[in-house]
Amino acid sequence: MRASKQSTETTIAEHISGAERLVTTELLQSCLSNLLERALNHSLGNPDLINFSINKIDTNKIEKRKSLPIRTVKVEDHREGISLVEKILKHLGINQYIINLAINWIQFGGAPNGGNMRGAILFDIATMQRLEENQYSGIRATNMDMSVEAELQLKKLLYSKNIYNSRIRDALTLATKVCNFSGVIAELCCSDDPDYIGGYVANKNLGYIRINKLKPFGQHTGGRVIFVDSTCCDVNSYKDYLRNSIISITSIHEATKEEVLTFNEMRKILVGKHE
Ligand code: WAQ
Ligand code: MG
């Protein structure tokens, strides 16, 4: 599902929300109804175009994956959140210049006009280039979902920590797909919803690191940046993988259990990994 506001003589088109599901035919109707409700009730406003695209898939082509492990870091304010993003990306070998660019994109939108994109920025740290064909729409990861069993497992784990919210399911699914490819360094995300100020940094080894504050409340911009290293990532295959491979998250990583951390606790984990 994709919901948007169309452009007018005085305004440009705006992406409002999007979501992916892998369901059996029997569940199609209820699934569409849930997605419609989501499209119609969004803090970014009312859409005037909602697209549903339904594709039959070959179930033999579904690849099952375990989610990334989840860590939640509770920071004092968005400045501390951004400072943690910097530390994590630096730890992963990304230079400060690129980090500054990326933070700006995910806080204020990465489209050339400064607005939100529909998809992600794909950034090559080897050539310092953006690799999306269209920098307004970016690249969208599609064809992924979480199984009912994995969702239950996720709810059980996170309810006990009082940190469950419905966004984690989709964001963890996307991040797990995005990071499970050779030569992908990390994904950085900040919600574009004005009433949700959190985001995450994800990496195959460090996991899905949720950060509860990455922008001021009320800000209508956000975004995603996927960092790849083209010296060890086949970029065309990766784009094809993001769009076309069919990934189902069928279990949640067991290391998720006790991980609710403060800024300093997360910082120590990063320092520890250097030693
Ligand atoms: N593929 C690539 N990029 C996408 C996709 C996709 N399927 N969906 C959204 N984006 C980009 C797009 O530029 C959006 O503007 C931006 O990401 C943010 O999307 O653990 O709510 O749906 O607490 O606003 C993460 C934290 C919430 C959840 C993410 O993102 C948690 C969120 P949103
Ligand atoms: Mg959003």
User: Considering only CA atoms, which of 191, 183, 168, 164 is closest in space to residue 231?
Assistant: 183
Probe target for ligand 1 pocket from 121, 134, 162, 189, with the most ligand atoms within 8 Å of CB: 189
Contact call for residues 12 and 20 (beta carbons, < 8 A): no
DSSP assignment of 28-76 equals HHHHHHHHHHHHHS-TT---SEEE-------GGGEEEEEPPPEEEEE-S
Placement of tokens 């030693």 in the chain: 275
Per-residue pLDDT of the chain (275 residues; tens, 9 = 90+): 999 998 888 777 889 999 999 999 999 999 999 999 999 999 999 999 999 999 999 999 999 999 999 999 999 999 999 999 999 999 999 999 999 999 999 999 999 988 999 999 999 999 999 999 999 999 999 999 999 999 999 999 888 888 888 899 999 999 999 999 999 999 999 999 999 999 999 999 999 999 999 999 999 999 999 999 999 999 999 999 999 999 999 999 977 666 799 999 999 999 876 54
pLDDT at 11: 78
Pocket residues for ligand 1 (CB within 6 Å)? 18, 116-120, 138, 140-141, 167-168, 171, 174, 189, 191-193, 196, 198-200, 210, 222-224
CA of 198 to the centre of ligand 1 (A): 10
CA of 246 to the centre of ligand 2 (A): 22
pLDDT at 171: 98
DSSP assignment of 10-22 equals SS--EEEEE----
- The CA-based angle 169-171-174, given to 5 degrees, is 110
Q: How far is CA 65 from the centre of its chain?
A: 17
Say how far apart CA 161 and CA 72 lie, in whole Å.
10
Please report which ligand is nearest the Cα atom of 239.
1
SS3 state at 137: coil
pLDDT at 160: 83
pLDDT at 257: 60
Q: Compute how many other C-beta atoms are within 10 angstroms of the C-beta atom of residue 218.
A: 9
